[in-house]
Chains A and B, each alone.
Chain A
Amino acid sequence: MSQADLTMEGHSPGMTIGPVFSIPTKKLAMWLFIIADTMTFAACLVAYGFLRNGTPNWPRPFHSITNVALMTFILLTSSLTMLIGLRSARAGDKAGGFRWIMITAALGIVFALLHIREWMGLINEGMTLFKNPWGTGLFGASFFSITGLHLTHVTCGVIALIVVGVRYKGGRYNADDIEVLGLYWHFVDLVWMFVVPLVYLLNLAH
């Protein structure tokens, strides 16, 4: 494989670890983190399913899907803007890469604000970690734990996007670093695809 091929594939020459998977070490580290984090979220969601299945008076507090639909749309769109940012960076368009990364971060902030607004709405209706007006108190604990864990990931991702974007603009980071961060951001999006049906859509009040 020529150097040009390596660059086109997104791998800088000299960064690969030949005998294992032939991918850059930073990317491999991020993939291992993602696999480990998948287990964390999977354990939370399975535990949530266990509780929901085994609890007769499970609450169904969600009357509208507007907010969660909007949040889903924003997070999916942020994945697309992240990809465009990576493409710009790979193409050597530093200003474009920085701009799209900042747009991604802005979308992440909007998502987090919508999430917090939803939390405040539920808290104002009387929901806490251990009790709520609709049914078992386990609902609040599981809801805030799962969505809180996801929100923490989004918040960390936004901070990382800003830091990496600024350093990329300053020349300290390159397109490979943006690609590694992009993996994390897409993973956050991927997890949301499971959180929405399990935590929100199955608990719609019909």
Chain B
Amino acid sequence: MTTAEVHKSNGIGKDLATYACLLVLAGLQFVIAYQKLDASQMLGRMLTVACVEAGLAALFFMHLWREKRGFLLFVAIFTIAVLLGLQFGWTDSTRMVVGAPFSK
């Protein structure tokens, strides 16, 4: 077996396993959608599953796990920090629901 053949055969099983996991997790989101839950619970569960899916895709499909640890940390910390920063809007959104104007 040549080096190229070794490279081709190495890890295809891992790709298939990741693909299968992603299919199952995507299916799980559809199952959650038909459960009798309130919207916030449903949102929480679906987003949790989506984050796991995104992590699997980034690590194994995008090969982030193979990169230098410093780069992995850079991508993870930078992305998570900005995503967390975007969550400030929710408090105002909730105030809109309960009818309190922004000026109060």
Report the Cα distance A79→B92, complex, angstroms: 38
Judged by a CB distance under 8 angstroms, whether A124 is at the interface is: no
Other than the given A186-B61, A190-B53, 6 more pairs (CB < 8 A) read A10-B63, A39-B82, A51-B93, A90-B7, A197-B46, A201-B33
Judged by a CB distance under 8 angstroms, whether B3 is at the interface is: yes
Describe A's contact surface by its main secondary structure: helix
B interface residues, Cβ below 8 angstroms from A: 3-5, 7-8, 11-12, 15-16, 19, 22-23, 26, 29-30, 32-34, 39, 42-43, 46-47, 49-50, 53-54, 57-58, 61-63, 66-68, 70-71, 74-75, 78-79, 82-83, 86-87, 89-90, 92-94, 96-97
- Residues of the B chain whose Cβ atoms lie less than 8 Å from the Cβ of A39: 82
* Nearest 8 Cβ contacts at the A-B interface: A54-B96, A197-B46, A201-B33, A21-B71, A91-B8, A91-B4, A53-B93, A50-B93
Report the Cα distance A134→B31, complex, angstroms: 25
A190 and B23 contacting across the interface, CB-CB below 8 Å? no
A interface residues, Cβ below 8 angstroms from B: 4, 8-10, 21-23, 31, 35, 38-39, 42-43, 46-47, 49-51, 53-54, 56, 65, 69, 72-73, 76-77, 79-80, 83-84, 87-88, 90-93, 179, 182-183, 186-187, 189-190, 193-194, 196-198, 201-202, 204, 206
B32 and A201 contacting across the interface, CB-CB below 8 Å? yes
- Residues of the B chain whose Cβ atoms lie less than 8 Å from the Cβ of A204: 33-34
- Residues of the A chain whose Cβ atoms lie less than 8 Å from the Cβ of B50: 193-194, 197
- Residues of the A chain whose Cβ atoms lie less than 8 Å from the Cβ of B71: 21-23, 31
A190 and B58 contacting across the interface, CB-CB below 8 Å? yes
A10 to chain B, nearest CB (A): 7
B61 and A21 contacting across the interface, CB-CB below 8 Å? no
- Residues of the B chain whose Cβ atoms lie less than 8 Å from the Cβ of A206: 34
B7 and A87 contacting across the interface, CB-CB below 8 Å? yes
- Residues of the B chain whose Cβ atoms lie less than 8 Å from the Cβ of A56: 97
Residue of B43, B62, B70 touching A187 (CB-CB under 8 A): B62
A193 and B54 contacting across the interface, CB-CB below 8 Å? yes
B30 and A69 contacting across the interface, CB-CB below 8 Å? yes
A87 and B8 contacting across the interface, CB-CB below 8 Å? yes
